[in-house]
Structure 1
């Protein structure tokens, strides 16, 4: 097959938008011309890649498989072109990378190493932000790219997810819920809840379970860090809602971690600002995607931590 990258990029745009009109507008070409390019691509591949109706567009099973290969092929080509440009023009610079505590957990070193290997002439300036700023420097404009956990109150956030891990309730070992295999959100609403101080209303609402309270007030115990938060829990002052990684990274003999059965998981990913385009940040996201595809076993362990033999209440 003699596939042109233009056809592949057109296909990726349609796959992302799932709408020919919006895809054509994004690509700044006529919709008829876009449809023709996709039809020619399907003819070259030999199978239908998209299922079209008068109301919707969706990927076929073959299209979903081809999409991943097309995306990887373009990333490799783009990376090769960027490497050649750096070699020819000596591209250098500094990428400012923000992160909240934990960053991307076990994926963090792999992503940084992947980026450094691809872009050895680019310096990485890393800065940790407390949970007072869950955007990890994106909101204030210092960070070009950041490891973050939405929701974040930032209108121009462009987010690339890496994994979604379960959320647990941290309770004192003496708490009535400590011996449970799991709990429901409604069982956590009456007591005080420890939440890190933050000026971001989306962050506060997420970890204080605001969406489940029907307007009822919440007794929040403010803390300055996750370590202090767990300390408050251990003393029986409050409970806490937190990502499951805390079981591995902040074990405490006085705290039990109990999975919350009806609360969506917490997603970690790479954030950047759409209103501040930066090629170095784009390359960082591309490196993170490569690691995400390569380290599937690591992600599986992060997303399903209680399958590894440690019980859900383990304090490790």
Structure 2
């Protein structure tokens, strides 16, 4: 199909203006020429995109779907052109990589190395974010790509899973549950829960066991600002926390014991980007992450199987 960029831009302009005369003026083309382009596009696609009458122009359901796709294609193309021109001028392309504590765990360094090997001309900026922003900068467009931990709100994001690891309960070594080899969700429902401050309800509900509570929320929450603060709260016996099993390797504390939780789903680490912002650099980073994930199967198995008590 001859879906060239000129026709896509013409369609997007008409769809946004819903008026052929105004759209033709914005595109600096004759209205007759614009109508012909849209008709050719509809012929190529085999379905009407617009409903025309003497009084108004409206998008058909197919047109609404195609508008989303056309905008994404044009945005990606424009970003690629800008990046290519920047590199051609000798400017160094920069990729802003966001992450929250732990990033992609033991896969982080291999992924960064693989990306650097594939795109040696690019400069990587690493930005760490607190639990307040589980999107690691993607929601506010301050990063281009990020290591995020699911579940969290992924509206407008495209994600590629790297691994899923078990969840554990962090409890004070003086707590009665600290002597247990394993616990179940019911053992934790009456306990105060430490949770990082965030407006992301999907993230908040998962790490407070909300789906297992009749009220939907814990009777007592201790909100924290960082991983280290959360660990200290747990060590002091002020609350327990629900956390990935990697906390035993990345946040050990002599006053905290991490106990596996039976009957609770694991947490998935993924590489993510805004769904309408797949630039060549971002695509290269995602491919590097997939390459390392598939190549380092032993590391992935270790991460996904790390469910023993500690």
TM-score, normalised to structure 1, is 0.68
In the alignment, which residue of structure 2 is the partner of 1:273? 274
Gaps of 5+ in 2: 1-43, 47-83
Q: Provide the aligned length of Structure 1 versus Structure 2.
A: 227
Deviation at 1:216? 4.8
TM-score, normalised to structure 2, is 0.70
CA distance in structure 2 between the aligned counterparts of 1:200 and 1:180, rounded to whole angstroms: 32
Question: Are the equivalent residues in 1 in contact too, given 2:151–2:268 (CA < 8 A)?
Answer: no
Gaps of 5+ in 1: 1-27, 31-84, 307-311
Are 1:285 and 2:286 counterparts? yes
Deviations 1:206-232 (A, max 9, x none): 111111112254111001111111111
Question: Are the equivalent residues in 2 in contact too, given 1:167–1:244 (CA < 8 A)?
Answer: yes
RMSD value over aligned CA atoms? 2.0
Deviations 1:263-283 (A, max 9, x none): 111100101111223121111
Question: Are the equivalent residues in 1 in contact too, given 2:150–2:268 (CA < 8 A)?
Answer: yes
In the alignment, which residue of structure 2 is the partner of 1:94? 94
1:185-204 pair list within 5 angstroms: 185-204=185-204
CA distance in structure 2 between the aligned counterparts of 1:258 and 1:103, rounded to whole angstroms: 22
CA distance in structure 2 between the aligned counterparts of 1:223 and 1:237, rounded to whole angstroms: 12
CA distance in structure 1 between the aligned counterparts of 2:141 and 2:269, rounded to whole angstroms: 20
1:117-196 pair list within 5 angstroms: 117-196=117-196
Deviation at 1:202? 1.2
1:65-76 pair list within 5 angstroms: none
CA distance in structure 1 between the aligned counterparts of 2:180 and 2:299, rounded to whole angstroms: 27
Deviation at 1:251? 1.0
Deviations 1:27-69 (A, max 9, x none): x989xxxxxxxxxxxxxxxxxxxxxxxxxxxxxxxxxxxxxxx
1:46-57 pair list within 5 angstroms: none
Q: Secondary structure at the match of 1:271?
A: strand
CA distance in structure 2 between the aligned counterparts of 1:29 and 1:255, rounded to whole angstroms: 61
**Is the alpha carbon distance of 1:270 and 1:216 closer, same or farther for their aligned partners in structure 2, counting shifts above 3 Å?**
closer
CA distance in structure 1 between the aligned counterparts of 2:107 and 2:216, rounded to whole angstroms: 38
Deviations 1:218-267 (A, max 9, x none): 11100111111111111111010000000011111111110001111110
Deviations 1:152-196 (A, max 9, x none): 223111110101111000011111111111111111011110001
Larger Rg: 2
Question: Are the equivalent residues in 2 in contact too, given 1:178–1:313 (CA < 8 A)?
Answer: no
Deviation at 1:288? 0.5
CA distance in structure 2 between the aligned counterparts of 1:226 and 1:134, rounded to whole angstroms: 13
In the alignment, which residue of structure 1 is the partner of 2:305? 304
CA distance in structure 1 between the aligned counterparts of 2:140 and 2:293, rounded to whole angstroms: 28
CA distance in structure 2 between the aligned counterparts of 1:172 and 1:237, rounded to whole angstroms: 9
Are 1:108 and 2:108 counterparts? yes
Question: Are the equivalent residues in 2 in contact too, given 1:182–1:258 (CA < 8 A)?
Answer: yes
Question: Are the equivalent residues in 1 in contact too, given 2:208–2:217 (CA < 8 A)?
Answer: no
Deviations 1:48-106 (A, max 9, x none): xxxxxxxxxxxxxxxxxxxxxxxxxxxxxxxxxxxxx99x9578511111011110001
In the alignment, which residue of structure 2 is the partner of 1:225? 226
In the alignment, which residue of structure 2 is the partner of 1:313? 309
